[in-house]
Amino acid sequence: MAELQTSSITGHVATAAQLRAAEFRLQQRLGLDLPLFYLTPTLAPQRGWGLRWQWNGWHNQYHVWLRGLAQGDLGQSFRDDQPVANLLSQALVSTLTLTTGAFVLTLAAAYGVALGLSRYRRWRTLVLAGLHLLQGLPVFVVAVLLLLFLANPDVLMLFPAYGLARPDFPPQPWAYQLLATGYHLILPWLSLVLVSFPALAVQLDTALQHELWQQYIVTARAKGLASRYVVNRHALRNALLPTIAQVADLLPALVAGAVVVELIFALPGMGRTMAEAAAARDFPVLLGAVLLVALVRLLGQILADWLYYLADPRIRLEA
């Protein structure tokens, strides 16, 4: 039975032994023949089928991956045998364009809405209700609604529905390419901003309203200072302190949202790369992508500390 022949897709006939040998060579090439971790749980019959831990030494898949990571090597992709670092760097360029633009627009929108609510109080209740409604919507719902209303020939065909600007021949000036890319990213940016800025705007508005009733604000107004000057130069700086903590979570949230947005709008980037890697069980690419998300969270913490220092120079980082 071991010599039973099997037909492959190409029509080539191979024995079961040859297929097993080819599978073993593939596992060796990918490093999958090694134990997964330093310790492996096994069932011991001599102990009444109790659990026993076996030490595998340093020659295991995790240690090989960790040693390569220390040297800047994220491994090879299972699908096309390309370096994971090259695949992720190519995808990261598009994702950074999307997330960086959404990050700046989110901060600007939250800042502008909070300042507007402090000046036009009669609209505060209505605007806050709209912000809470937006905050409860998932990013994919917002993206689909934008597609239906702003990229639909039956409603309004104002923006492209998917993809990025195609390169023209002869090549266009860099300013034209930049504008074309921005035009294609308007709906993806809006999708991320509309679900991200409400939490920041509500928090900043709450902190700002609290500061406007403090004694130093009353004193500043009694001196005859303009309301805009009092808000911008006195109340806003103190109101920013409790809001900055949310900035640390904004970057990872935008990266997670970019995965969904890139799939909906068919954009090249980390979202498509991670989805294809998950479907193909390309674990080296998935591990590298998760590592990048962890680095983004760390970057968010560093950015929050820096913003704290800008908002209040009295804050110093302890060594």
User: How far is CA 158 from each of CA 77, 267, 305, rounded to the nearest angstrom?
Assistant: 39, 18, 40
Longest dimension (CA), the chain: 98
- Percentage of the chain modeled with pLDDT above 90: 12
| 6 — pLDDT class (breaks 50, 70, 90) | very low
In tens, the pLDDT along 75-125 reads: 888 888 788 888 888 888 888 888 989 999 999 999 899 888 888 888 888
Q: Do 274 and 259 meet the contact criterion of CB atoms below 8 Å apart?
A: yes
What is the spatial distance between Cα 218 and Cα 230, in angstroms, rounded to a whole number? 9
Question: Who wins on pLDDT, 47 or 232?
Answer: 232
Q: What is the pLDDT of residue 242?
A: 79
Q: What is the mean pLDDT of residues 272-300?
A: 84
Cα(111)–Cα(121) distance, integer angstroms: 16
Label residue 296 by pLDDT band (50, 70, 90): confident
Asked whether the predicted pLDDT for residue 190 surpasses 90, the reply is yes
Query: Hey, what are 19's tokens?
Result: 């297929």
Lowest mean pLDDT among 1-5, 20-24, 87-91: 1-5
Task: Please check the confidence at residue 7 and state whether its pLDDT lies above 50.
Answer: no
Neighbours of 243 (CB within 10 A): 23
Residues near 135 by beta carbon (within 8 Å), at least 6 away in sequence: 195, 198, 199, 202
Mean pLDDT of the chain, nearest integer: 80
Mean pLDDT is lowest, of 1-5, 175-179, 199-203, 277-281, for: 1-5
Q: Global pTM?
A: 0.77
User: Residues 294, 266, 262, CA angle at the centre, nearest 5°?
Assistant: 25
What's the confidence (pLDDT) of residue 4?
45
Q: Which of 147, 243, 154 is nearest to 200 (CA)?
A: 243
Inform me whether the pLDDT recorded for 213 exceeds 80. yes
Return the pLDDT at 254.
Answer: 87
User: HEC profile for the chain?
Assistant: CCCCEEECCCCCEEEHHHHHHHHHHHHHHHCCCCCCCCEEEEEEHHHCCEEEEEECCCCCHHHHHHHHHHCCCCCECCCCCCEHHHHHHHHHHHHHHHHHHHHHHHHHHHHHHHHHHHHCHHHHHHHHHHHHHHHCCCHHHHHHHHHHHHECCCCCECCCCCCCCCCCCCCCCHHHHHHHHHHHCHHHHHHHHHHHHHHHHHHHHHHHHHHCCCHHHHHHHHCCCCHHHHHHHHHHHHHHHHHHHHHHHHHHHHHHHHHHHHHHCCCCCHHHHHHHHHHHCCHHHHHHHHHHHHHHHHHHHHHHHHHHHHHCCCCCCCC
Asked if pLDDT for residue 3 goes beyond 70, the answer is no
- For residues 143, 144, 149 and 154, what is the CA-based torsion angle, rounded to 10 degrees? 140
Do residues 184 and 178 make contact, with C-beta atoms less than 8 angstroms apart?
A: no
Question: How far is it, in rounded angstroms, from Cα 159 to Cα 156?
Answer: 8
Task: For residues 63-85, give the mean pLDDT.
Answer: 82
Quickly state the pLDDT bin for 9 (edges 50, 70, 90).
Answer: very low
Distance CA 39, CA 55 (A): 5
